[in-house]
Amino acid sequence: MTARKSAASGPLHGVRVIELVGIGPGPFAAMLLADLGADVIRIDRPGGNAMQVSQPDKDILGRGRPSAAVNLKDPRGIELVLDLVEQADILIEGFRPGVTERLGLGPEACHARNPALVYGRMTGWGQDGPLASTAGHDVNYISVAGALDPIGRAGGPPQIPLNLVGDFAGGSLYLVTGVLAALTHARGNGEGQVVDAAITDGAAHLLAMPMTMQQVGAWNHERGTNLLDSGAPFYDVYETADGRWMSVGGLEPQFYAAMEKVLAIDDLPDRHDLTQWPTLRGILADTFATKSQAEWTALFDGTDACVAPVVPMHEAPQHPHNLARGTYVEHEGLMQAAPAPRFSHTPATLTTPPARAGANTAEALAAWGIAEVDQLISDGVAVQAD
């Protein structure tokens, strides 16, 4: 398949984005922009990033955009990227503060070439602050933001929520929100700006609801003792007879009543009496353990009980609801989630598959109007992978 989009579509059609490739949240943000129709060119290191997956042609985070490998240690490589900047609406990078400035690709250099450019910066700690120059990963960022400590069972340690809360929710999604907001401003008055997307900031922002509950006295400091953190027995998961699990979320009275009806248990303890929560939890655990997950799923099907099976990731594409909506698709030999969200007039579609670093260098640079691409490749300024 060619590097260019087979059928450009989506609400961001016409938006041009440069991705200076990093790891994790930066590539996910670029993937999302590409999913929504932006024309993204991925600037890779020759040979790829040491932190990338061992099979880059199967890295879903790399979908939807061509990879051009450019030697940024060569001044002509820097000049090449600045030539791309002149045509771009957005640039995103995920290096430590000061790295792109030292390369000659910082905001000042880029805005000198394109004053309307939106320059998106993806970091864990942000561009300033005592920790800004130090290394870290998702678990560290959400730790300092206050988002890790509340997650876990009572009496146990904090539990790591994959890297969803930090890298992708607190990082990528805030970067995308920021650059698109800044693009709206730039298109209104021609003024570009820098978007400082720090995972610590985003993760803290996501805490708005539990922080509100804490400050009005509805949230305890001890993890696993609250309404939404597994403290409440009617908002938890329970093992079934076949070693699988059901999720229970009957918060509102009518939903809880619907669950009681399906479970057919007489005289459950008062759920509003916190002293009865251990007893209630034990009854629910014993009850769910009497049937298989499939049996419970069938019993709860079509009800408003807010009870659903916990579906393993490898089985999720085959769940009837996901099948009906096309939530997962097999594209270019890879099972993956379809673009989200959905649009009524400008639907987003999957286009090109992930590519190895430099697999599309010649074609991608030519498509962005770069002259003498063959000479750049011959001189080693750009690298076309075999």
Active-site amino acid positions: 137, 167
Q: Residue 322 burial by CB count (10 A; 0-12/13-18/19+): exposed, middle or buried?
A: middle
CA 335, CA 329: separation in Å to the nearest integer? 6
Residues 120/112, Cβ–Cβ less than 8 Å: no
Question: Can you tell me whether residue 326 is helix, strand or coil?
Answer: coil
How is residue 243 written in tokens?
């070693």
The two beta strands, 235-239 and 90-93, are unpaired
CA distances from 369 to 65, 76, 81, 83, 93 (A): 16, 16, 12, 9, 22
What's the angle, vertex CA 95, arms to CA 91 and CA 96, rounded to 5? Answer: 135
User: How far is it, in rounded angstroms, from Cα 162 to Cα 138?
Assistant: 9
SS3 state at 329 = strand
Which CB contacts under 8 angstroms, 24+ apart, belong to 289-295?
289/238, 289/239, 289/240, 289/241, 290/241, 291/240, 291/241, 292/240, 292/241, 292/242, 292/244, 293/240, 293/242, 293/244, 293/245, 293/246, 294/242, 295/240, 295/241
- Number of residues written out for the chain: 386
CB neighbours of residue 91 within 10 Å: 26
